[in-house]
Each structure stands twice: as C-alpha cells, then as structure tokens.
Amino acid sequence: MAGREAIILDWGTTNFRAYRFDAGGVLVAEHRAAAGILSIEKGRFEASLDREIGPWITAGTELFFSGMITSRNGWVETPYAETPASLEALATASVSRRHASGASMRFLPGVAMRHPAPDVMRGEEIQVFGACLPEEDAVVVLPGTHSKWVRHREGRIEAFHTFMTGEVFAALKGHTILGRLLPEGAAGGPEAFAAGVRHMQHHAGAGLLHAAFSARSKVLFNELAPTDIGEYLSGIVIGAEIAGGLALGWDPAAIRLVGEPALAARYAQAARIFGLVSEIAPADTTVRGVRRLAALKETAHDGRRS
C-alpha cells in the first residue's frame, strides 16, 4: 500500500464499511452504510461501490475487498484457501479485477477446512491475521450470527469451527415457546444473562436442547421473570458456544475476542464464568490484516524485482 492511495473494504451480508488511506499509509476517512450484499441486485455491485465511495477512487487507487462480497452471491467469487492457511496463501488465492476508473481491485479469498469435518469462513480470516502477531499461538473468537473459533499458530490458521450462535438465538427467541413467554419490548438484566451462562455450564453434557427449556420451567416456578427470558436465553446460547469451544481441546490460556464491543463484552463475561481468561482485540482488525497482506505483497514484488 505504501506509495499509493488505498481503500480497504469490509463488505458483508448486511453492512458496507470502507477505510481510506493516503499514499503515506495514514487513515484519512471511513465510511459505513447499511449496503450489504443482500440489499444489492446482482450485477449492480460496481454501481453501489461508486454510489458509496466513488469520489475516493482514482486510477492510481488500490482497493482490497474482504467479506461476503467475495462469495458466490457477491461481486467476484474467490476460491477458499485451505487450512493450514498462511497470509501468503490468502494473497496468492486473491483475485484481481480493474475498476472502470483504472483502479486495481483485489478480492481476498475465504478459508476452508476439510478435516475432521468441512467448515468455511469468508471475511473472518483477515481479521484473525489482523488480531495476531505473525508468530503468535492464539485462539481467536469472532462472535456473531455464525461465530468462529480459530486457532492461529506459526503464522497460519491451523483450524477453525463455526457455531451458529447468533442465528440460533434469534430462532429460539423469535420462533419457539420461549420467545412467546417474553413480553414485547422487555429488556432484562445482566444478572439473567449470567444465570443463563451458569445454567448452561452446569448442564453442558445434556446440551442446548435441554438447557434452553429451563427458561420455561424457571418462569413457571417463579425462578425467572418473563422479562428476563431474552437475557437468560442469550446466556444459555453463548454458554453453549463456550462449552463447545472448550471441548475442541485447544486448551487456550486466553481467548482473543474480535467483534462489536457490546457483544465482545458479553462473551468476556461468559468466558469469565467458565474460568476462561479473555482479551478484547482492537476494533480495526480487518484493516490491520489487509495492511499486513498488502505489505507482504510489496515485499514479494520487491523480491521479484531484485
């Protein structure tokens, strides 16, 4: 990126985020919009890009795309780099295109794991490289609709596992008897969240299908206020993810949390209940990851030139 203006895009299913850097590598502007790929007609991605940040783009700009914009339903589908996947492997598997202005565009790949069972991610991998030092041994947790637990070791993503935590929480709250017991607009307290995590911790063996029903039983026996069901259920589901993540056997001294601050704080609280130390990563992991990847490319190019 050094010497050229650059734009890093984190373009997902529901959100569009862009970061603009000057030729000296200094962040000079940020843009966010609810312009995720689900809201954009197939074939209209370049027009959407221009509508959001057109004035930033000149012939000399370098653009980096990360997130679901590189999936089958996005603009340019990139392959998956397979685990163990290094930052170099991501750079190699990225796909180049040219913008109408002449600017170069690089679409980053996702990462796939084949064994012991197939799993995929797209967008989180660059955040992992942004959240870790090159030679660090770390377990990175990225909470969300489809949370990821990722093991980074010797400069590579060695393995990872997806948990459908956010999506299952929404389905339980929106489409089961548990949600129907919850009064409209009820907020709930942090104590209910902790109670859910503890309940899940003590019933991890019997699993989520059993633990979730306790929301109903506890309301019947006045051990839980109906207004607290949402928070309690959030604790149950996040607790199930943490119990599952610990069962992977990676035995982390600490987990590094990458995500929105409010959600990361919720995970940190749940981890503490499980006796697990957590650290919250800086907010700009996508930018850090892409800058590491871009620097790498320049080194490689320099190598070829020498």
CB nearer to its own copies: pick between 27 and 170: 170
38 binds its own copies, rule: CB under 8 A: no
Q: Hey, which residues between 243 and 262 contact its own copies (CB under 8 A)?
A: 243-245, 247-248
CB nearer to its own copies: pick between 45 and 213: 213
Q: How many CA atoms lie within 13 A of 1 on its CB side?
A: 25
The size of the interface with its own copies (CB under 8 A), counted in residues, is 49
DSSP 183: P
Angle at 233 between CA 230 and CA 237, to 5 degrees: 140
Pick the piece of the chain touching its own copies (CB under 8 A) from 34-42, 129-137, 170-178, 293-301.
170-178
Give the orientation angle of helix 261-273 with respect to helix 190-202, to 10 degrees: 50
| 83, 121, 168, 204, 300 from 111: Cα distances, Å | 7, 5, 23, 29, 22
83 binds its own copies, rule: CB under 8 A: no
The nearest distance, CB 192 to its own copies, in angstroms, is 15
CA distance linking residue 78 with residue 71, whole number of Å: 7
Query: Tokens 């339903």 label which residue?
Result: 73
241 binds its own copies, rule: CB under 8 A: yes
The nearest distance, CB 180 to its own copies, in angstroms, is 11
Helices (H), 17-160: 45-53, 87-93, 124-131
Near its own copies by CB under 8 A: residue from 32, 44, 202, 272:
202
The nearest distance, CB 161 to its own copies, in angstroms, is 6
Pick the piece of the chain touching its own copies (CB under 8 A) from 45-53, 111-119, 124-132, 296-304.
111-119
Query: Which are the contacts of 203, defined by CB distance < 8 A and separation ≥ 6?
Result: 210, 211, 214
SS3 235: helix
167 binds its own copies, rule: CB under 8 A: yes
199 binds its own copies, rule: CB under 8 A: yes
Q: Both tokens of residue 85?
A: 């996947």
Q: Which residues bind its own copies (CB under 8 A)?
A: 112, 114, 116-120, 146-147, 161-165, 167-168, 170-172, 174-177, 199, 202-203, 205-210, 212-214, 216-218, 220-221, 223, 237, 240-241, 243-245, 247-248
